[in-house]
Amino acid sequence: MSTTTTTTELVETKKSGGLTAVAANYIDERTSISTAVKELGRKIFPDHWSFLLGEVALYSFVIILLSGSFLTFFFSASMAPVQYDGSYVPLKGVEMSAAMSSSLDISFDIRGGLLMRQVHHWAALLFVAAIGLHMLRIYFTGAFRKPRELNWVIGFILFILAMAEGFTGYSLPDDLLSGNGLRIIDGMVKGIPLVGTWISYLLFGGEFPGEAIVGRLYSLHILLLPAIIVALIAMHLLFVVVHKHTQYPGAGRTNQNVVGYPVLPVYAAKAGGFFFIVFGVVMLMASLFTINPIWNYGPYDPSPVSAGTQPDWYIGFADGALRLIPPGLEFVWLDRTFSFNILIPLVSLGLFILVVLIYPFIEAWVTGDKREHHILDRPRNAPTRTAIGAAGVTFYAALWATASSDIIATHFSVTMEGVIHTMQFLTIVGPFIAFFVAKRVCLALQKKDREIVLHGYESGRIVRLPGGEYIEVHQPIDEYERWKLVSYSDYKPLMIRPNAQGKITTGQKLRAGMSRWFFEDRIEPVGNTELEQSHGDHH
């Protein structure tokens, strides 16, 4: 940022020939950076709190890189057994892996080491959470529509990679809890038909747990995955620049403009400052709240385990899916074992992920709309999309809550079986209920918007008419507010027409069916005629 600032000054101070000007000139003659400043320096970004979610994700990733680099200087990614000889008395003399021992040393023998470990872990939890919320924002406002479909895909891959980073990092200290996590992964991998046993064998370098896995996950965690993530983030941001940011509907904003503030100076200050705020909040959490106290768990041992074991939050949905499977779904057939108790969760989660990944293309196919969309939808103005989102969130939330089924059972003194059966019901029926409720709520909100546009808002002033009747005075809203309520794009269900051969193809029928499902319940935006007719209608 400092180089770009100095270059802007170049323009003004060239004549005076100060040190800044000389430096700026030196750089520009070797990099042509003035072109970049000219293109990007005054680029306009729109303002909204929800646009900060992606920034939080980006900044937490920077924090993760910074704190993670510090940790690599002390961590030893080896599973060679050593006798612990650090400051933490209860584990003195206990045999453990070098990974666990060095993680304990980071926590107990290096000043600020525990702080950096906790910054790293909290930032990682925040990273995945921020990506998730950012994705929900994109989804519910329709920001994935043309021309941003590919950026949705990139972002979604980043979400998956963030979870992979989280899981590989979680496994590195080789403590009891993370070892059990790996044991579960091993068990799941073994359940995959045909190749599962071999994949597990190769992954762990022999039998579970072996002495290879921590080193291998370390390579993935600090080299391969971060490199891919950095590359994808660069692409993600490049696309944001190419597309220019979306904006919420509002007076003066159109599909052909961007209204907001320039990068220099306003966004440099606000976004730059926001990085420090995010970092500060993570630092505060790391100083006040313990995360992942591996010293309480002890080193990994395949035999002990404590009740209430849980993964980090973002793996919860997968763990929950495993718990929901009813007994008995495993068969021996043709002398081979088919573990449907593993395959059903794997396949359903895979399908769920796939549907989320390709959703933009499904919706584009249903609407047939090939225009660019830069004005965001208010979620209510796309009722079916919002309802699908609500169903997806409910499905995910049910799986996620199931990962705590034992804690729910002990905390509320209910039976384990009761919790599981309830969650099974919620996972399957919950999304349908959520779909229905969300859609009705959206339609009702759209009706309310119409009502406000046509008849004004309730002013709270009650007057008595000469005839004795009491009415509440409705005030018309101003034209700027009104614009937000009337300016949305509306679709109608697709009419099937035979093609050139006079046939109606199955694809056409499917698309028409989907289109009907999406758009048969619709509330039209208010037009001028209607608006004029309603004038004088305000009591």
Residue ranges in 422-461 that form contacts with other proteins under rule CB under 8 A: none
Residue 533, helix vs strand vs coil: helix
Least distance from other proteins to the Cβ atom of residue 434, Å: 25
- Of 483-522, binders to other proteins (CB under 8 A) are 483, 486-487, 489-494, 515, 519
Q: Which is nearer to other proteins, 30 or 111 (CB)?
A: 111
Four-CA torsion 296, 299, 300, 302, nearest 10 degrees: -90
Contact flag: residue 326 with other proteins (CB under 8 A):
yes
Stretch that binds other proteins, among 226-234, 243-251, 387-395, 438-446 (CB under 8 A): 243-251
Based on the number of CB atoms within 10 Å of its own CB, is 239 exposed (0-12), middle (13-18) or buried (19 or more)? middle
- Of 460-479, binders to other proteins (CB under 8 A) are 479
Q: How far apart are the first and last CA of the chain?
A: 57
- Of 17-46, binders to other proteins (CB under 8 A) are 42-44
Cβ 491 vs Cβ 518: under 8 Å: yes
Given candidates 35, 69, 72, 287, which one binds other proteins under the rule CB under 8 A? 287
Residue 211, helix vs strand vs coil: coil
Contact flag: residue 480 with other proteins (CB under 8 A):
yes
Q: Which is nearer to other proteins, 75 or 159 (CB)?
A: 75
- Of 69-128, binders to other proteins (CB under 8 A) are 81, 87-89, 107-112, 114-115, 118
Least distance from other proteins to the Cβ atom of residue 469, Å: 32
CA distance 21 to 130: 40
Contact flag: residue 418 with other proteins (CB under 8 A):
no
Q: Which is nearer to other proteins, 205 or 513 (CB)?
A: 205
Helix spans in 41-142 (H): 52-72, 98-108, 113-140
Q: Which is nearer to other proteins, 286 or 393 (CB)?
A: 286
Contact flag: residue 57 with other proteins (CB under 8 A):
no
CA distance 104 to 117: 10
Q: Which is nearer to other proteins, 113 or 389 (CB)?
A: 113
Half-sphere exposure of 241 (CA within 13 A, CB side): 13
Distances in Å between the alpha carbon of 467 and those of 86, 289, 463, 470, 539?
89, 67, 11, 9, 15
Cβ 189 vs Cβ 199: under 8 Å: yes
Q: Which is nearer to other proteins, 26 or 361 (CB)?
A: 361
Q: Which is nearer to other proteins, 28 or 515 (CB)?
A: 515
Contact flag: residue 261 with other proteins (CB under 8 A):
yes
Based on the number of CB atoms within 10 Å of its own CB, is 218 exposed (0-12), middle (13-18) or buried (19 or more)? buried
- Of 175-234, binders to other proteins (CB under 8 A) are 180, 183-184, 186-188, 190-198, 200-210, 212, 216
